[in-house]
Structure 1
């Protein structure tokens, strides 16, 4: 039985080889382009010793370099995530490109009468002060001089500043100006003709300054307030108020006057001279010694208190008055 198995073994291997080389896939036994097997060597008639067949070295001489051009091996690398701040920067750039910021608003300060003329402080008057219609409010603005004013100015307020002098060019070409209030500055002097070209000026308030003299006054002025200054009688022109036919209110209290500045216009209604150094009255101060029938009907309020004056000694000075002055001893 054992001899029979040994005799059949070569025949079985022979049949197996025949089937392999005779099949359509016989080419798989040798790689394409390689040296392959020699047909003479593996002839069944010349190779009877199947036990010595070595299949382990099959394919050792095959040239695999031919596969380099056909097979490409790649490497998949996952992208490295960007830092959070870099991503935010890109996002911000994207947003700026999509929605650009609005253009800055520019104001033409040099435009005609937009914010008024340019001041010495580098800004237009109506940015330094408050401009409402024709009224200019420059109160408590640390001004040391009158700022340039728009030509349509009708009322000008510059109280509580540091103005020391008023020039004749400060109100030039302001033909509509009606009201000036320079209360509580440090004004010690004014050009003589500073108010000369103000035909419509009606109210002039210069209280709480350091004036010793008054300039020429505008002809149409109605209200003058020069209280709490350093006015002296020599600093007022002899006929300073004579031709002011519309003057109604004159406040000269708390100064250094030695006499009442006469003659006074008939239009005058209120005259305050308290806290001066007035010591005497003249017959022509209120009345007209050349016309005994003259009566000053408009003058209703005369204040002479806190002066070294005895009004009882000067009865002839107020015989034309409907009301006696207040004050004196």
Structure 2
């Protein structure tokens, strides 16, 4: 009885095996692939001694080749030949062209870094300078006091058509080129006091204020008729210079003349007035200082008749 069920079970198992689908063999055709397994071994150049990170690096460098794409970094911008050969300084300028801080001095610094620039005024006081620095072209007022400048050269103020005031007080200037101040069409004030100047150069006729006190001009330091054409000159200070005469003629509009502490011993009657014109009145010249000179003002009473005020000095 037990054999019948076993036979029946065996029959169903056989029938199921016969009915199952046949698994066909799979062919791996290398022609369907761009790269064979052998090629992959060559491309990756596998080395079992590589660490995980090194292996990733090696694989990452070969991927562009496998995909057929090449990635190149964008080239960095190149400076032009001129820019590469011309160094730029901290103010954005080159050694040959002025920048925002002005032209460059002999010390290698821009003028407005060595000195102080405020608007169109340049202040170089007490900087131990031995030469005047080049100035920006728009400079109107220049101060270089309490330095060690020995000479004023013809190029120190070249092409400064806007310059109105120069103050070189308390240097050691003993020499000035003859045309150091000649080509300054707007110069109004020139201050050269407390130096060692022996010879005054030619000055522009536009000056209204001159102070050359405490120098060593002596007898020949001022040329004849040096101030004749300065029609706008109002203030002339030549104290402490060992002068032995009053420089004539004096401009008509002169208001103040200081000649203290010189060696002036005499004065002519037409020094200030017109000897043959007693009606002439010189209204502008109100301040004349002759104190500290070996001159007796009482000897030439007619020399002051045209003046609104008497000169200050010895009357004995």
TM-score normalized by the length of structure 2? 0.69
1:139 to 117, 125, 128: 125
Distance 2:173 2:141 in 1: 19
Distance 2:154 2:91 in 1: 31
Contact in 1 for aligned 2:92/2:99 (Cα 8 Å): no
Contact in 1 for aligned 2:91/2:100 (Cα 8 Å): no
Aligned-pair Cα RMSD in Å: 1.3
Contact in 2 for aligned 1:262/1:284 (Cα 8 Å): no
Q: 1:182 to 1:150 in 2, by over 3 A?
A: same
Stretches of structure 2 lacking an aligned partner (at least 5 in a row): 1-88
Corresponding residue of 1:148? 134
Corresponding residue of 2:171? 185
Q: 2:224 matched to 1:238?
A: yes
Contact in 2 for aligned 1:109/1:124 (Cα 8 Å): no
Contact in 2 for aligned 1:249/1:271 (Cα 8 Å): yes
Q: 2:257 matched to 1:274?
A: no
Distance 1:194 1:107 in 2: 29
Corresponding residue of 1:295? 281
1:169-318 aligned within 5 A: 169-318=155-304
Offset from partner CA, 1:160-191 (integer Å, 9 cap, x none) = 00001101110000000000000000001111
Offset from partner CA, 1:234-286 (integer Å, 9 cap, x none) = 11111111110000001111111001001101110000001000000012211
Distance 2:134 2:290 in 1: 39
Corresponding residue of 2:13? none
Offset from partner CA, 1:185-217 (integer Å, 9 cap, x none) = 000111111111101000100010011121111
Q: CA deviation at 1:293?
A: 2.0
Corresponding residue of 1:116? 102
Q: CA deviation at 1:233?
A: 2.9
Contact in 2 for aligned 1:233/1:261 (Cα 8 Å): no
TM-score normalized by the length of structure 1? 0.66
Quick check: 145-154 or 284-293, which moved more?
Answer: 284-293
Look at both structures and tell me which one has the larger radius of gyration over its CA atoms. 1
Q: CA deviation at 1:112?
A: 4.2
Contact in 1 for aligned 2:286/2:309 (Cα 8 Å): yes
Aligned length: 225
**What is the SS of the residue equivalent to 1:233?**
coil
Stretches of structure 1 lacking an aligned partner (at least 5 in a row): 1-104
**What is the SS of the residue equivalent to 1:131?**
strand
Q: 2:127 matched to 1:166?
A: no
Distance 1:289 1:236 in 2: 25
